[in-house]
């Protein structure tokens, strides 16, 4: 439950029908002044900025919020959320997924796609073998990896040029040319 002094914004962010892009999960507090520690899904992203309106999402509700500050710290982003001024108030945010409205995302550059755009794509080999559906995308540091689940089990597909031949988000397809041993 958000703290009693939590700032509720009158913005439309987080309306039930508005698509949201999750950027990370609040995993802990930091210090005694209300900072929270966000584990970002994409550590290389600089999407979060001070003054930005975000949506905090729990399993049963969403809450719009405004970021007062954002700074990098090791693998995390340290955030100050307006209205959260103590460690006790910050504890109430642990477990929330931090999201922004899809409409607030900058357009992907040519040759790039957002991780969330890959979720749900059907994955096929060049010869037409159905491997399943992209369940999630992991940022590993060297390259991103799609977790594909299907009848033949789980496959980890690196998103590298040597393997990925086609990404058709509109058509719902990801086509790969697996290196020997990748699907074993």
- In tens, the pLDDT along 44-99 reads 888 999 999 999 999 999 999 999 999 999 999 999 999 999 999 999 999 999 99
pTM for the model stands at: 0.69
Whole-angstrom distance, CA of residue 51 vs CA of residue 58: 22
- Which candidate, 94, 108, 96, places its Cα nearest to that of 169? 108
Whole-angstrom distance, CA of residue 96 vs CA of residue 26: 6
Q: Within 10 Å of residue 129's Cβ, how many Cβ atoms?
A: 13
End-to-end CA distance of the chain: 45
Q: Which domains does the chain have, with CATH numbers?
A: 20-104 (2.40.30.60), 115-176 (2.30.30.240)
């Amino acid at each position: 439950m958000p703290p009693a002094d939590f700032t509720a914004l009158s913005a439309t962010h987080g309306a039930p029908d508005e698509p949201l892009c999750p950027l990370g999960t609040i995993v802990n507090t930091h210090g005694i002044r209300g900072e929270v520690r966000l584990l970002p899904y994409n550590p290389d992203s600089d999407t979060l900025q001070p003054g930005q309106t975000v949506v905090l999402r729990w399993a049963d509700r969403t809450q719009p919020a405004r970021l007062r500050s954002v700074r990098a710290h090791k693998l995390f982003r340290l955030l100050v959320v307006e209205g959260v001024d103590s460690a006790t108030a910050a504890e109430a945010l642990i477990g929330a997924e931090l999201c922004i409205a899809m409409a607030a995302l900058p357009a992907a550059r040519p040759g790039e796609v957002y991780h969330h755009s890959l979720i749900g794509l059907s994955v096929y080999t060049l010869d037409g073998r159905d491997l399943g559906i992209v369940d999630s995308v992991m940022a590993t540091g060297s390259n991103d990896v799609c977790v594909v689940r299907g009848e033949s089990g789980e496959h980890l597909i690196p998103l590298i040029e040597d393997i990925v031949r086609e990404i058709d988000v509109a058509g719902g397809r990801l086509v790969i040319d697996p290196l020997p041993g990748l699907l074993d």
